[in-house]
Structure 1
Amino acid sequence: MMEITVVGMGNMGRAFAKRAYSQGFEVLWWNRTRERVKDAPGRPIEKLAEARGLVAVFVSDDDALLAVVPDIGGDYVALCGTYSIQGVKRALEILTARGRRAFAMPVVGSPRNVENGDAIYIVGAHEEIYTKTRPILEKFGALFYIGDSIKAAALKLAFNTLLISTVAVLGEATTLAIKYGIKPDVFKELLSQTVFKEIAARYIDRMLGSAQPTFTLKNAAKDMRYASNAAGEAGAGNVAMSGVKALYEVLAALGYGEEDYVKAGIIEGK
């Protein structure tokens, strides 16, 4: 039985572990605060060096990533979180120097998508590694193969930038309508007849509701910071994303960091 090790058992890591278990893999997992992990399949490991098989890393940010890669075991190491370009470069340098076969494989989708097997994985592995790991990876979702880890990391940052910016502006637009006495359902009805139909249907009720978030405002602020830095390093346009970054950073500093990221434009208008 092939082994899967998950490093970082937050919402995404736990969902990946559940998916692996449902597909018949032997699941191992590691979390810095093991006592906080509830209802996880498989068995915990004490040390990162005990990782086996395909190791999926879902730790939260660059600092956490660079803290774990010097000790990770396993046959292949996939960096599945959203990290900065420089963070991915440094992590891969460390892993390669240790003889680990490693690549970026950020995920597009929610924990529900990951658990159900319909998330998208942007695979940055070189062709030889991809050929060997593809039969395993295909059990987890759709594979978007790009063959370069830095491009995979950049593509995830580009996607998250568009998504986070879109919902922030949608929140502001919804608040504008509400302030002028227009009910959210009326605004949704208008948008349902436009290119914004699916976005409005998916996010407006969520913005105004109270469901438990799976991706928080502070995480969105982190991703926008990484994206803005990447744009600056590459000499790309950075005006709009810098504004969105500032919005999320300010709201996080004001104590809204644990709120659902889609609420940024609504919270701002209060």
Structure 2
Amino acid sequence: MKRVENKVALVTGGASGIGLSAATLLAKQGAKVVIADYNIEGAKELAETLVKEGYEASAIFLDAGDAQSIEAAVEFTVEQYGSLTVLFNNVGGTNVRKDLDVVNIDLDEWDRLVNINLKSVLLGSRYAIPHMQKAGGGSIINTASMAGFASDQIRTAYGATKAGVVNLTKSIATQYGKDKIRCNAIAPGLILTPAAKNNIPQDLLDIFTKFNSLPYNGEADDIGHAVVFLASDESKFMTGQTLQIEGGHYIANPTIADTNIWATSQQK
């Protein structure tokens, strides 16, 4: 039996990157998957590819800033497959030209990111939970970020909203655990999605690698496999937790990388 066989999953932001990986892996492990994304053409393309390969998948347009669109995606999933037992709240983003330090941040951008990064998680869960209660339980998985645990020179709203996702995850887990609804989050570090590869210069990627405990950066499937685990019954006694998947980037004293270089130089 496959790991998530007979489960019905809604993946938001599922047309690319982490969402694409999660939707693909969930389908290949037996789930019926709805791919919801603003990029509806990309979502349809992925769904069609999965169906051609023998899996069950559908696509729907999603505007994560619109409550009605989120509710429609949930209802579409239930109409298509009869229930909803896995929700991956994966939509999120930032704009580093506007999401600046506290004094200079664009306040409209603050409001936009609260709506997209945090409120969308609340609303997706709000609309999905009644269906999970009817199904006898389910698993909600939220994409947080290591930015929710560590500060930055900019991305003030991004960090604050992702910290909010971590705490909201605990609230959902506490409030609906007795209904056999689990809620966990994943906090990725730098993940080499196509968007990251296309927009982050190599010298900046090298800085991340330098400060990782592991000698490489993450790939989308590193997160996708964790989503499958949290969606499956393998994690049935796990709730309210945030998995930090970040290559050991944040676990050590930040001087370690440079002091290792210094120590090596002293041995010469």
* Same fold? TM cut 0.5: no
Which structure exhibits the higher relative contact order, with contacts defined as CA atoms closer than 8 Å and separated by 6 or more residues? 2
Place the TM-score, normalised by the shorter chain, in its bin.
Answer: 0.3 to 0.5
Which structure has more helix as a fraction of its residues? Answer: 1
TM-score (norm 2): 0.42
